[in-house]
Amino acid sequence: MPLGSKVECNKCSINYSILWHVDEDKRPLCNNCNDQVLAQKPSIEEDSKINSVSEKTKSSLRKSTRATRSYKTRLNPNAVPKPSTQKGRGRRWILKKTPIKHTESEIRNHTSNSVFHNGFHFTVGDIVAIQDVEGGFYYAQIRGFLTDQYCEKSACVTWLLPTTATDLSLGFDPSTFIYGPVEDIPRKLDCMQFVMRAPNDYFRTINYRDPSSMPLYPGNGHFYAKLKSDI
């Protein structure tokens, strides 16, 4: 507005005010009238929100009535409802799931009758050779396997003792060995070399009596058949 012209409030028609304001139509308003206009705006906005909510409820009621209408028609009374297609979940729904605490796994050793180690399959009854620090070889038969929590494989062995008929220069002959001391402490498979396969009861002594072949009355004859060495 030009300088020198008197300003008059459009609402109360006064010429003096601390601050002058302009309404939506670019007309001057004094400070008091402007405060009154601002105080009336929240009530107007609340009325508009109430009207919008009522309109939404009406539209939802209309939609619900349409959705509950029967899918059967006069021409096709045996109509089958269409299956509702569910939208696929995105990858973000995994982040919205509540985390589940995982159960702590038990770390323990486990035994077995066979293991796969360094590309070879070891079983109970196999005969292995163990070399000492001086270069000599000792033979033993595997009784069982043990695998620890770090997947290190070990074996419990029974030592085989040579007899007077043993000739190591000709190689290992199982018929010339007998059972020796039994070890309960497992040894690692890395220090064992495979020699041959044999049954678990191959080196039993002749005096051993199988319970299935024991006589009904004591004093009767008893025989024991030993397996041959050619395997």
Please write the tens of the pLDDT for every residue from 42-67.
Answer: 665 666 666 666 666 655 555 544 44
The Cα–Cα gap between 77 and 90 comes to: 39
Tell me the pLDDT band of 5, cut-offs 50, 70 and 90. Answer: low
Please write the tens of the pLDDT for every residue from 129-143.
Answer: 998 888 888 999 999
- Residue 193 scores a pLDDT above 60: yes
Q: Are both 130 and 202 inside the same structural domain?
A: yes
pLDDT at 157: 93
Question: How many domains in the chain?
Answer: 2
Of 9-13, 75-79, 182-186, least confident by mean pLDDT is 75-79
Q: Are both 59 and 114 inside the same structural domain?
A: no
Q: Are both 59 and 117 inside the same structural domain?
A: no
The Cα–Cα gap between 202 and 195 comes to: 15
Q: Are both 50 and 115 inside the same structural domain?
A: no
pLDDT at 223: 47
| Length of the chain counted residue by residue | 231
Which is more confident, 70 or 124? 124
Please write the tens of the pLDDT for every residue from 153-185.
Answer: 999 999 999 988 888 888 888 888 988 899 989
Query: CATH number, domain at 180?
Result: 2.30.30.490
Q: Does residue 33 sit within a domain?
A: yes
Range of the domain at 30: 20-64
DSSP string over 116-133: EETTEEEETT-EEEEE-T
Q: Which residues of 70-105 are buried (b: 16+ CB within 10 A; e: fewer)?
A: eeeeeeeeeeeeeeeeeeeeeeeeeeeeeeeeeeee
Q: Does residue 193 sit within a domain?
A: yes
- Residue 224 scores a pLDDT above 50: no
Give 195's contacts (C-beta < 8 A, 6+ positions apart): 126, 127, 128, 129, 139, 172
